A and B are shown apart, each in its own frame.
Chain A
Amino acid sequence: MNWGSVSAFLAMGGYGGFVWGSYAVTAICIGLEIALLTARHRRLRRELRGG
């Protein structure tokens, strides 16, 4: 176990901004890609059903 407390975990030895900045942007990008793809597919299926 590397971390004594939640705040130590969040601080990342003083590099928190860099580490969490990397992980957060990656998570946002991937979440966005999934959301856009799902919406695109749903819209296509709806258009096909409509005619």
Chain B
Amino acid sequence: MTSRINWFKYSSPSTFYPLAGRLAPWFFVAAALFTVAGIYVGFFVAPTDAQQGEAYRIIFIHVASAWLSMFLYIIMAFWAGVGLAFNTRLSSMMASAVAPTGALMTFIALWTGALWGKPMWGAWWVWDARLTSELILLFLYLGFLSLQAAIDDPRRADKAGAVIALVGVVNVPIIYFSVKWWNTLHQGASVSLTRSPSMAATMLIGMLLMALGFWMYSIAATLLRARCIILERERHSEWIGQLRESRQ
């Protein structure tokens, strides 16, 4: 039995719109479950840190949002690049749908970093390589969004945005490796693929649960926003006219 799914079917906005509508609630539910579990482990199971006391519990949001801020940028650049190369309109819509959530994750990473930096380093902000490159990431997201907003023709806005998105990708490895390449105040990676984590197992589990929760949330928010963008851009097409009668 070889029944293959026709993935190209889902590259059309008219089939993706109801699919996204069916999937989004499940991702919201998964996000809520992982986040509640992550907060439970983070506050009630993970022990007090020997050096940082209770202040370290900011890590559960900080690391999750920082990971997502970088990961979502790569996803955004990927979809923008696919849209630019193949002129597929859903790909470009996906890039636009990811961007605000990516910017939000970047803001949360910077905000929680400031609130963690103040008690530990004595400063809300330092012009350190890690912090500065993360701030540049926020400006890249905002640049992408404002450039798209400034161009009336959506297809041209997609192309211009894709150029920013693709050029900016170079910043992601800079953020990731900044703590190795430069002598920074920011601590090194707590989790890496090549060595065992430098933290208690329960802290790590809490962090991973929160990261999964934020990940599921980002997918859900992106799907919801993609639905809005599809309706905005395709409102004059025939299938939207048919949609009017359905309740999907």
A: which residues have CB within 8 A of B? 1-3, 9, 12-15, 18-19, 21-23, 25-26, 29-30, 33-34, 37-38, 40-41, 44-45, 47-49
B111→A22 contact, CB < 8 A: yes
B: which residues have CB within 8 A of A? 43-44, 47-48, 53-55, 57-58, 61-62, 65, 100-101, 104, 107-108, 111-112, 115-116, 118-119, 217, 221, 224-225, 227-228, 231-232, 235, 240, 243-244
Q: For A26, what are the chain B residues with a Cβ–Cβ distance below 8 Å?
A: 61, 65, 108, 111-112
A41→B54 contact, CB < 8 A: no
B191 to nearest A CB, angstroms? 19
Q: Interface of chain A, helix or strand or loop or mixed?
A: helix
Instruction: Known contacts A29-B108, A34-B221; decide if A18 and B61 are in contact (CB<8 Å).
Output: no
Q: For B62, what are the chain A residues with a Cβ–Cβ distance below 8 Å?
A: 22
Q: A33 to B65, alpha carbons, bound, how many Å?
A: 15
B104→A18 contact, CB < 8 A: no
B55→A13 contact, CB < 8 A: yes
Which of A15, A25, A37, A38 sits near B54, CB closer than 8 Å? A15
Q: A23 to B107, alpha carbons, bound, how many Å?
A: 13
A19→B101 contact, CB < 8 A: no
B104→A33 contact, CB < 8 A: yes
B238 to nearest A CB, angstroms? 13
A30→B43 contact, CB < 8 A: no
Q: A15 to B51, alpha carbons, bound, how many Å?
A: 13
Q: A1 to B118, alpha carbons, bound, how many Å?
A: 27
List 6 tightest A-B contacts by C-beta distance, closest first: A13-B54, A15-B55, A22-B112, A12-B54, A44-B231, A18-B115
Q: Interface of chain B, helix or strand or loop or mixed?
A: helix
Q: For A37, what are the chain B residues with a Cβ–Cβ distance below 8 Å?
A: 221, 224-225, 228
B77 to nearest A CB, angstroms? 21
Pairs A–B under 8 Å by Cβ, sample size 19: A2-B44, A2-B48, A14-B53, A14-B54, A15-B54, A15-B119, A18-B118, A19-B55, A19-B58, A21-B115, A22-B58, A25-B112, A26-B108, A29-B104, A30-B217, A34-B221, A44-B228, A48-B235, A48-B240
Closest to B243 in A: A48
Closest to B31 in A: A30
B227→A29 contact, CB < 8 A: no
